[in-house]
Amino acid sequence: MTEDTVRPAGPPTPAPSLPGRGSGASAVPRWSLVLPVKPLDLAKSRLGPFAGARRAELALAFALDTVSAALACPLVARVLVVTGDPVVAAGVAALGALVVGDEPGGRHGGLNPALAHGAARARLFAPRAPLATLSADLPALRPAELARVLAAVPPGHRAFLADTPGTGTTLLACPPGRALRPAFGPGSRDRHAADGARELPLPDVPSVRRDVDTGADLAEALALGVGPHTATVAATLV
């Protein structure tokens, strides 16, 4: 996904600079990201009244655009997608993501066990890399805004970014050697804060905060500027 497809017209949002080799500057950490994607027949049920028979196709488009933007982020070293859906697995693998099979318990095992399972696998790939989970329904995600969020995570601490309404969570980060302890679901912002994760006060990263569960959410994402997969499907719905 190019920057032009994931941001509206206007000046680009600068990403944190990466030090060059031999510059003497401390290295900017590069992250492992874990994204969970439900089986498409179960995904985005609240979009059913809006998307109808295209609901599964729209859910797949969200995931593909989110993964594409995450892989384009300069602070991201790898993206792991936890899914048991073969269509999702093939699509994200073609983009360059690593696919992790569903957690023990399968398609009904739940979001937080899936994230813990993916985080454990990410630690095997890169035990010294910082780790973050990211919602897979961020079709307007901009790589530079994601980089700003990751750069704002306090070293050595767990941290999270609240969603647009301010009640949920779109990103949960933790340093090497710390347990992720995901507590996603309705009201997750308060649960993550109560568990000691620090909230990132970044109001100007709307593409990282605007997850999509309803038709109204999608309208907001479209106003921000979505990626090509979502744009193609959404064009058939309006």
Q: Which domains does the chain have, with CATH numbers?
A: 27-234 (3.90.550.10)
Residues 6+ apart with CB under 8 A from 199: 159, 160, 161, 162, 189, 192, 193
CB 62 within 8 A of CB 212: yes
State the Cα–Cα distance between residues 62 and 119, nearest whole angstrom: 21
Per-residue pLDDT at 49: 85
Question: Residue 9: exposed, middle, or buried by beta-carbon count in 10 A (0-12, 13-18, 19+)?
Answer: exposed
For 105-118, the pLDDT digits (tens) are 555 568 999 999 99
Q: Is residue 176's pLDDT more than 90?
A: yes
Per-residue b or e along 91-124, where b marks 16 or more CB atoms closer than 10 Å to that residue's CB: bbeebebbbbebbeeeeeeebbbbbbbbbebbbe
pTM for this one? 0.87
Per-residue pLDDT at 8: 43
Per-residue pLDDT at 29: 79
Per-residue pLDDT at 102: 81
Q: What's at 83, amino acid-wise? A: T
Separation in Å, CA 38 to CA 14, 105, 137: 32, 13, 11
Per-residue pLDDT at 195: 96
User: What percent of the chain shows pLDDT beyond 90?
Assistant: 77
Tokens of 169: 């969570």
CB 224 within 8 A of CB 145: no
State the Cα–Cα distance between residues 159 and 170, nearest whole angstrom: 11
State the Cα–Cα distance between residues 28 and 25, nearest whole angstrom: 9
Q: Is residue 188's pLDDT more than 50?
A: yes
To the nearest whole number, what is the mean pLDDT of the chain? 88
For 69-85, the pLDDT digits (tens) are 999 999 999 999 999 99
